[in-house]
């Protein structure tokens, strides 16, 4: 699976074989280590995933052979670097469903992508009395920008409730999405509950009232095939670091006509056409939104992450995670004192599994598991309002990815069993 | 893991955690202060009755992790019956200790030494701090005589 | 010069020896390559610098051993990653003159840093009739945000002119910086002319009228010792990629009292204290400005870049570049038809040297030099207004760094000689 | 470098660059169009006089790099005396050729083939394009009869 970053295919290779987890594990150098006396079991993938050798090597190779600033450089390195950077844009465009490359804007992450929309589209299109619809299961990244924008503009923030079993409650959706709705901003997959939301149906409802639809794909894009055109998303946001790519790279997909009409963001070099002291005209898409020197090396390396995912096949990845999620839910259910959040049907959820213990605080759970080499996350997962609604101060969350297998889950389950003894319960 | 698990969860800590002191409500209190650590979700309610210049009784109710609960429980145990000045000094000492300074705790407060283990777990230090900064805030308000203490919001104070 | 990223000193090691360029060149894998038949001569350092092995290896090592999302992770990898990330913050704070770590905000680059100030401080503090003072030699990154802000707020953009020999013209400075001045935003070193500006004196003047001072240090920070406290800068901005560090990392230094008073930017996870649907309270510095998952690996590797620079010693670097700049100016002056821009005195300038040929367009110069393996940049260098003032449509720019030596300059000079013959002049 | 230097700077290109055609001002023009490439700073002034439906005379003044100057000069040489329809077709063909499409240029326009070398230098393609898109814009305005052409700003048109 090593690939020469100079000659990379754009076409989506569809993996056909069942996923061989042992072979995959071997592609991730970090997994081959001990934490204290214990083999590392990495189950914090919803926070950030590990990187396969091809991605690490792509960064290495870029800095060793091709590094230069991009755009308009007339020398070999700059031309190479520019071509590689733009290649990732094309690849990303194809990965998310075959959009135009100029509709793919590179940002620092999902947070950066959503903020870009809030500061530009939001600033210009949200006025007093307008309604912004979010859900109760949003990550702060898709919540705080809208809370603040609504406050600033005297707009109304409305929310789609969450049912006790972790689904969006669509009972009253027609009173939530109304003629006043200007924006629907909702997550494709919850980072706390794992729930996969019916974004296609929601987008349809929102479009029917003329609203714009932003989908937070930070958790979905790594784990299932994404087709932004099928969803009919106006904006779709994702983070490279959650899908095998480097930190510091995010993607904002936006429909060209929307992006074209928006004012630029992050003003500076390369995003202008002409600058005078009294007037500035903007460059065309995508440059208009990529002022300054971008995170070139990491964008280039992100290409290798997409390639790796495609070689496995996003359908296969989804299947593997459904199977492993079902297994995990099953195993965790058998542990006394444990309460699991979110849907029980692995068809309708991803592998981010939140749970609590009736007696042990999530932070103690996490620290205890860490002593066994098991990395999970504990806390509010940047979803404080959802925590409150769930009646929890925090949860422990194990989240799965392509390199996890049943043994990893078994290690978790075994440690959770020991934990209650350790704390004298 | 930066420290060993047993460094943090010493027997004394687990003992306090499983049977926290100071749970019993008290009749009247001159000091009332709430603590909150939004990052963890920990919440703490503290009431102290002061007699002259001596702590007569303490009620502390902490919803949080083993560390914050144990630290609250130790606080309740330690300050009861002590002069307010001494209590203030002790709270300051514990705060310094948790922040990594080398302090010499008073002789009769050996239990508190167990909190030192938390220093190897940077994210958990705030858990141990919560009770003590909440107490300090309560005393400050009491001494100023301005009535109600503001809720301690941990990030603001550390 | 390999360093273990786990145990890195924060203290500034001062290099004492004269700089050994051959040894330095050997630290940069990319320099050891041929472009066609010619050895690469990299003279495009003002656009972006190359990376020493220690920096590349730090990225590698991070992803191989420590990668995890930072902040509040209660497992080994997350604690490690957090400590490393914060270590770079401390190191940066010490590198720029010993400021408080919480005054160091990581951004995507200088452009991101300046925009942060424009969108937050600028938004709140600039009103109708206020004056923003910039210079005529600003990079678009320190120009476009202020042009747009001035327009939006009906504020006045005033500029410090540039003399024909490339210095700031301070003759009328007291009519430019006035009681109405709210912000002075000026570059420490010009990316076109190389000029080092008297930022200390300018800051003093600006502070005397109560204005805030932002210094664009993108070109200065890589090449000379920086002491933001001596300058008394309120804000100082720089880019890691121009100082041996990875792409995608920038720094905004800001005085704590200013940063504390500013609204946050890039809203999302980790920059909040508490989120409700109707209200958000912000985290303390520096988190308030670092919403979302930052560019963790590259920030961690930036530490190694700072370390490398410090081992050489910033004073030594400055001395080497002064010497080599003097030599370059000398050599270029002897070429018929060539016109050099900017100060002639290498004491007052850095090693970004712009020039034009009386007959050959800068783009043709650059393409020709590239055919000899020599990388320079040609164009407006994101300083269109300055170009107009200089009466040029573009310039060719060779820019030096620590791994360049007289042979590199000789190769440039020889190629420029051949060029006129090639174009039949 | 993606191509060899001589691929781009072919003798014909350098010949046009050193002695650009169409420099001579013309008396009256039915077509007047300006081109500008802000990224490069290239500026171009184009005037064409049309007699019936045939190009009678051309004036082109290009301040720019060797490629944009040579491309302008070739344009001047090629279109003089040709029917406007043919000129339009040719300009479209050149545009396609520069964008990498496989086109068959008319027989008597061999010189233009030399511009193909630019395709290996992506950043320079716009330099070669400038004259031709400026011409197309001028013809469009002429045909609409709406008077003055807008200035071509290269980034908008490609
Ligand atoms: C003086 C100056 N300011 C700002 C910038 C912008 O830096 P970045 O592209 O890293 O954001 C540059 C880089 O070209 C520069 O030279
Ligand atoms: C659902 C969701 N949205 C947004 C984000 C923010 O992503 P990032 O931190 O990469 O900007 C996350 C990451 O935690 C997430 O899980």
Q: Give the span between the Cα atoms of B19 and A424, in whole angstroms.
A: 11
Yes or no, beta carbons of A79 and D1 under 8 Å apart: yes
Radius of gyration over every alpha carbon of chain D, rounded to an integer in angstroms: 14
| Ligand 1 contacts CB of residue A269 (under 6 A) | yes
What residue of A is the nearest CA neighbor of C281?
Answer: A144
What residue of C is the nearest CA neighbor of D3?
Answer: C371
For all residues of chain D together, what is the average pLDDT? Answer: 88
pLDDT (tens digit per residue) in A143-168? 999 999 999 999 999 999 999 999 99
Count Cβ atoms below 10 Å from residue D88 Cβ, excluding itself: 17
pLDDT (tens digit per residue) in A273-318? 889 999 999 999 999 999 999 999 999 999 999 999 999 999 999 9
CA-nearest residue for atom 7, ligand 1, is C110
What is the structure's pLDDT at D109?
Answer: 85
* Under 8 Å between Cβ of B40 and B155: no
Q: Does A130 score more than 80 pLDDT?
A: yes
Of D1, D38, D123, the CB nearest to A274: D38
Yes or no, beta carbons of C36 and D66 under 8 Å apart: no
Q: Containing domain of residue D86, as a range?
A: 3-151
Residue B56 C-alpha, separation from nearest chain C C-alpha, in angstroms: 35
Instruction: State the pLDDT confidence band at B156, using cuts at 50, 70 and 90.
Output: very low
Of A47, A73, A277, the CB nearest to C147: A277
Q: Do chains B and D touch (3 or more CB pairs under 8 A)?
A: no
Residue C185 pairs with which residues in a beta bridge? Answer: C214
| Ligand 1 contacts CB of residue A73 (under 6 A) | no
pLDDT (tens digit per residue) in A83-104? 999 999 999 999 999 999 999 9
> What fold does the segment set C5-48+313-422 form as a domain?
3.90.1150
Phi-psi category of residue A342: left, alpha or beta, with phi > 0 → left and psi -120 to 50 → alpha: left
Rounded to the nearest whole angstrom, what is the distance from the C-alpha of residue C111 to the centroid of ligand 1? Answer: 6
Q: Does B148 score more than 80 pLDDT?
A: no
Structure tokens at C237: 């901005």
Active site positions of C, annotated: 382
pLDDT (tens digit per residue) in A56-68? 999 999 999 999 9
What is the structure's pLDDT at C18?
Answer: 63
From chain A residues 347-406, the ones with a CB under 8 A of any chain C CB are 363, 366-367, 369-370, 373-379, 382, 384-385, 388
Of C364, C392, C394, the CB nearest to D66: C364
Which of B65-74, C102-111, C231-240, D2-11 has the weakest average pLDDT? D2-11
Of B38, B122, B155, the CB nearest to C79: B122
Instruction: State the pLDDT confidence band at A12, using cuts at 50, 70 and 90.
Output: very low
Cβ of D3 under 8 Å from any chain A Cβ?
Answer: no
Q: Give the span between the Cα atoms of C255 and C235, in whole angstroms.
A: 7
SS3 A403: coil
Summarize the confidence of residues A63-88 as an average pLDDT: 93
| Ligand 1 contacts CB of residue C239 (under 6 A) | yes
Residue D87 C-alpha, separation from nearest chain A C-alpha, in angstroms: 29
CATH number of the domain encompassing residue D71: 3.90.1010.10
* Under 8 Å between Cβ of C269 and A140: yes
For all residues of chain A together, what is the average pLDDT? Answer: 94
Q: Which of C311, C292, C301 is nearest to C247 (CA)?
A: C301
Yes or no, beta carbons of C367 and D124 under 8 Å apart: yes
Of D8, D39, D121, the CB nearest to C379: D39
pLDDT (tens digit per residue) in D98-143? 999 999 888 888 889 999 999 988 889 999 999 999 999 999 999 8
Q: Give the span between the Cα atoms of C16 and C34, in whole angstroms.
A: 33
Give the Å distances, CA to CA, from B64 to B23, B41, B42: 14, 7, 5
State the total domains in chain D.
Answer: 1
Structure tokens at A385: 């309002």
From chain B residues 36-95, the ones with a CB under 8 A of any chain A CB are 38-43, 63-67
Contacts of A396 (CB under 8 A, 6+ apart): A354, A355, A356, A357, A362, A365, A366, A369, A376, A377, A378
Q: Count the helices and strands in chain A (H runs, E runs).
A: 15, 17
Q: Give the span between the Cα atoms of B93 and B115, in whole angstroms.
A: 12
* Under 8 Å between Cβ of C222 and C243: yes
Measured over all CA atoms, what is the biggest interatomic distance in chain D, rounded to whole angstroms? 46
Write a three-state SS string for chain C: CCCCCCCCCCCCCCCCCCCCHHHHHHCCHHHCCEECCEECEECECCCCCCCCHHHHHHHHHHHHHHCCCCCCCCCHHHHHHHHHHHHHHHHHHHHCCCCCHHHEEEECCHHHHHHHHHHHHHHHHCCCCCEEEEECCCCHHHCHHHHHHHHHHCCEEEEECECCCCCECCCCHHHHCCCCEEEEEEECECCCCCEECCHHHHHHHHHHCCCEEEEECCCCCCCCCCCHHHHCCCEEEEEHHHCCCCCCCEEEEECHHHHHHCCCCCCCCCCEEEEECCEEEECCCCHHHCCCCCCHHHHHHHHHHHHHHHHHCHHHHHHHHHHHHHHHHHHHHCCCCEEECCCCCHHHECCEEEEEECCCCHHHHHHHHHCCCEECEEECCCCHHHHHHHCCCCEEEEECCCCCCHHHHHHHHHHHHHHHHHCCC
Instruction: State the pLDDT confidence band at B73, using cuts at 50, 70 and 90.
Output: very high
* Under 8 Å between Cβ of B64 and B42: yes
Yes or no, beta carbons of B123 and C76 under 8 Å apart: no
Rounded to the nearest whole angstrom, what is the distance from the C-alpha of residue C48 to the centroid of ligand 1? Answer: 9
A186-A189-A194 Cα angle (round to 5): 135
> What fold does the segment set C55-310 form as a domain?
3.40.640
Summarize the confidence of residues A389-401 as an average pLDDT: 96
Beta strand pairing status for B152-153 and B31-37? parallel
Output the CA torsion D112→D118→D119→D121 (10° steps).
180
Q: Does B138 fall in a domain?
A: yes
Residue C47 C-alpha, separation from nearest chain A C-alpha, in angstroms: 6
What is the structure's pLDDT at A11?
Answer: 39
Q: Which of B48, B79, B51, B49 is nearest to B61 (CA)?
A: B48
A216-231 burial: b if 16+ Cβ within 10 Å, else e: bbbbbbbbbbbebeeb
What is the structure's pLDDT at A4?
Answer: 56
Output the CA torsion A365→A371→A375→A377 (10° steps).
30
Yes or no, beta carbons of A292 and C268 under 8 Å apart: no
Judge residue C180's burial from the number of C-beta atoms within 10 Å of its C-beta, 0-12 exposed, 13-18 middle, 19 or more buried: middle
What is the structure's pLDDT at A13?
Answer: 43
Q: Give the span between the Cα atoms of C228 and C242, in whole angstroms.
A: 18
Q: Which of A51, A211, A214 is nearest to A139 (CA)?
A: A214
Residue C329 C-alpha, separation from nearest chain D C-alpha, in angstroms: 25
What is the structure's pLDDT at B109?
Answer: 85
- pLDDT tens for chain C, 425 residues: list them: 344 565 554 434 444 456 789 999 999 999 999 999 999 999 999 999 999 999 999 999 999 999 999 987 789 999 999 999 999 999 999 999 999 999 999 999 999 999 999 999 999 999 999 999 999 999 999 999 999 999 999 999 999 999 999 999 999 999 999 999 999 999 999 999 999 999 999 999 999 999 999 999 999 999 999 999 999 999 999 999 999 999 999 999 999 999 999 999 999 988 888 899 999 999 999 999 999 999 999 999 999 999 999 999 999 999 999 999 999 999 999 999 999 999 999 999 999 999 999 999 999 999 999 999 999 999 999 999 999 999 999 999 999 999 999 999 999 999 999 999 999 88
Q: Which of C61, C58, C77 is nearest to C69 (CA)?
A: C77
H/E element, B153 = strand B152-153
SS3 A369: helix
For all residues of chain B together, what is the average pLDDT? Answer: 88
Q: Does A10 score more than 80 pLDDT?
A: no
Yes or no, beta carbons of D65 and C363 under 8 Å apart: yes
Q: Give the span between the Cα atoms of D32 and C317, in whole angstroms.
A: 54
| Ligand 1 contacts CB of residue C216 (under 6 A) | yes
Taking contacts as CB-CB distances below 8 angstroms, the residues of chain D near A274 are 38, 153
Percent of chain D with pLDDT over 70: 91
C362-374 burial: b if 16+ Cβ within 10 Å, else e: bbbbbbbbbbbbb
Q: Does D26 score more than 80 pLDDT?
A: yes
Q: Which of A72, B16, A91 is nearest to C378 (CA)?
A: A72
Residue C395 pairs with which residues in a beta bridge? Answer: C379
Instruction: State the pLDDT confidence band at D41, using cuts at 50, 70 and 90.
Output: confident
Contacts of C391 (CB under 8 A, 6+ apart): none
Measured from the CA of C242, which atom of ligand 1 is nearest?
Answer: 10
The better pLDDT of the pair B109, B2 is held by B109
Q: Give the span between the Cα atoms of B77 and B80, in whole angstroms.
A: 6
The domain locations on chain C are 5-48+313-422, 55-310
Residue A391 pairs with which residues in a beta bridge? Answer: none
Chain C residues touching chain D at CB-CB below 8 Å = 35-36, 360-364, 367-368, 370-371, 379-380, 384, 387, 392-394, 422-424
What is the structure's pLDDT at C396?
Answer: 97
Radius of gyration over every alpha carbon of chain A, rounded to an integer in angstroms: 22
Q: Does D157 fall in a domain?
A: no
Output the CA torsion A204→A210→A211→A216 (10° steps).
40
Cβ of B123 under 8 Å from any chain C Cβ?
Answer: yes
Radius of gyration over every alpha carbon of chain C, rounded to an integer in angstroms: 22
Yes or no, beta carbons of D122 and A74 under 8 Å apart: no
Q: Which residues line ligand 2 (CB under 6 A)?
A: A 46, 109-111, 139, 141-142, 187, 191, 216, 218-219, 239, 382; C 268-269, 292-293
| Ligand 1 contacts CB of residue C187 (under 6 A) | yes
Cβ of B3 under 8 Å from any chain C Cβ?
Answer: no
Q: Which of A221, A406, A230, A265 is nearest to A331 (CA)?
A: A406
Q: Does D1 score more than 80 pLDDT?
A: no
Q: Give the span between the Cα atoms of C406 and C414, in whole angstroms.
A: 12
Q: Alpha-carbon torsion C94, C99, C104, C108, what sign? A: negative
Count Cβ atoms below 10 Å from residue C344 Cβ, excluding itself: 14
Taking contacts as CB-CB distances below 8 angstroms, the residues of chain B near C75 are 1
Yes or no, beta carbons of C293 and A159 under 8 Å apart: no
* Under 8 Å between Cβ of C98 and C229: yes
Taking contacts as CB-CB distances below 8 angstroms, the residues of chain A near C148 are 267, 280
SS3 A66: helix
Mutation site, B123, B125, B157, interface C, largest C CB count within 10 A: B123
Residue D21 C-alpha, separation from nearest chain C C-alpha, in angstroms: 17
Q: Give the span between the Cα atoms of C292 and A160, in whole angstroms.
A: 24
| Ligand 1 contacts CB of residue C109 (under 6 A) | yes
Q: Does B158 fall in a domain?
A: no
Judge residue B45's burial from the number of C-beta atoms within 10 Å of its C-beta, 0-12 exposed, 13-18 middle, 19 or more buried: middle
pLDDT (tens digit per residue) in A347-370? 999 999 999 999 999 999 999 999
What residue of B is the nearest CA neighbor of A38?
Answer: B1
Percent of chain A with pLDDT over 70: 96
Residue A300 C-alpha, separation from nearest chain C C-alpha, in angstroms: 11
What residue of A is the nearest CA neighbor of C375?
Answer: A75
pLDDT (tens digit per residue) in B8-28? 899 999 999 999 999 999 988
Structure tokens at A186: 């909702």
Summarize the confidence of residues B37-58 as an average pLDDT: 90
Reported ipTM? 0.93
Structure tokens at A213: 């639809």
Size of interface B-C (CB pairs under 8 A): 26
| Strand ranges inside A277-369, DSSP E | 280-282, 338-340, 352-357
Cβ of C119 under 8 Å from any chain A Cβ?
Answer: yes
Rounded to the nearest whole angstrom, what is the distance from the C-alpha of residue B110 to the centroid of ligand 2? Answer: 44
Rounded to the nearest whole angstrom, what is the distance from the C-alpha of residue C240 to the centroid of ligand 1? Answer: 10
| Ligand 1 contacts CB of residue C218 (under 6 A) | yes
């Amino acid at each position: 699976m090593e690939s020469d970053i100079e000659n990379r295919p754009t076409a989506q290779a569809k993996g056909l074989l069942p996923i061989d987890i042992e072979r995959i594990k071997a592609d991730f150098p970090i997994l081959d280590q001990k934490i204290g006396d214990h083999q590392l079991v990495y189950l914090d993938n919803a926070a950030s995933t590990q990187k396969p050798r091809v991605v690490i090597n792509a960064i290495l190779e870029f800095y060793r052979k091709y590094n230069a600033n991009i755009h308009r450089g007339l020398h070999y390195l700059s031309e190479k670097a520019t071509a590689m950077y733009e290649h990732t844009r094309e690849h990303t465009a194809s990965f998310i469903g075959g959009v135009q490359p100029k509709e793919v804007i590179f940002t620092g992450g999902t947070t950066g992508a959503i903020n870009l929309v809030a500061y530009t589209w939001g600033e210009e299109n949200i006025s007093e009395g307008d309604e912004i619809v979010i859900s109760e299961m949003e990550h702060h990244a898709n919540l705080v920008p809208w809370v603040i924008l609504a406050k600033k503009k005297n707009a109304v923030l409305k929310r789609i409730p969450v049912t006790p079993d972790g689904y969006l409650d669509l009972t009253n959706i027609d009173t939530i999405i109304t003629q006043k709705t200007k924006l629907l901003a909702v997550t494709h997959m919850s980072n706390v509950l794992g729930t996969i939301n019916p974004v296609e149906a929601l987008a349809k409802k929102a479009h029917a009232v003329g609203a714009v639809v932003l989908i937070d794909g930070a958790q979905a894009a790594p784990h299932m095939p994404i087709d932004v055109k099928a969803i009919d998303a106006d904006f779709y946001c994702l983070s490279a670091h959650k899908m095998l790519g480097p930190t510091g790279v995010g993607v904002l997909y936006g429909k060209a006509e929307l992006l074209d009409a928006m004012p630029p963001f992050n003003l500076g070099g390369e995003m202008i056409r002409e600058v005078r002291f009294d007037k500035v005209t903007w460059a065309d898409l995508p440059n208009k939104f990529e002022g300054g020197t971008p995170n070139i090396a990491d964008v280039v390396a992100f290409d290798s992450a997409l390639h790796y995912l495609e070689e496995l096949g996003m359908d296969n990845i989804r299947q593997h995670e459904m199977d492993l999620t079902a297994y995990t839910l099953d195993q965790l259910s058998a542990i006394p004192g444990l309460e699991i959040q979110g849907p029980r049907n692995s068809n309708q959820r991803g592998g981010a599994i939140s749970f609590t213990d009736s007696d042990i605080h999530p932070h103690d759970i996490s620290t205890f598991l860490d002593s066994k080499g098991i990395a999970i996350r504990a806390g509010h997962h940047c979803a404080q309002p959802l925590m409150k609604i769930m009646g929890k101060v925090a949860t422990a969350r194990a989240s799965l990815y392509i390199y996890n297998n049943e043994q990893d889950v078994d290690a978790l389950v075994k440690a959770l069993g020991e934990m209650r003894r350790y704390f004298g319960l | 893991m930066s420290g060993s698990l047993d460094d943090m969860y010493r027997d004394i800590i687990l003992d306090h955690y499983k049977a926290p002191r100071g749970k019993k409500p008290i009749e009247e209190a001159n000091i009332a202060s709430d603590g909150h650590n939004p990052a963890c979700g920990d919440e703490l309610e503290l009431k102290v009755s002061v007699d002259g210049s001596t702590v007569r009784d303490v009620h502390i109710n902490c919803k949080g992790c083993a560390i914050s609960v144990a630290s609250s429980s130790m606080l309740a145990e330690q300050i009861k019956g002590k002069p307010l000045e001494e209590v203030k000094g002790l709270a300051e000492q514990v705060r310094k200790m948790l922040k990594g300074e080398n302090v010499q705790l008073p002789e009769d407060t050996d239990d508190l030494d167990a909190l030192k283990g938390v220093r190897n777990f940077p994210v958990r230090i705030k858990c141990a701090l919560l009770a003590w900064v909440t107490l300090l805030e309560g005393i400050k308000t009491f001494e100023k005589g301005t009535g109600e203490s503001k809720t301690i919001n941990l990030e603001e104070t550390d």
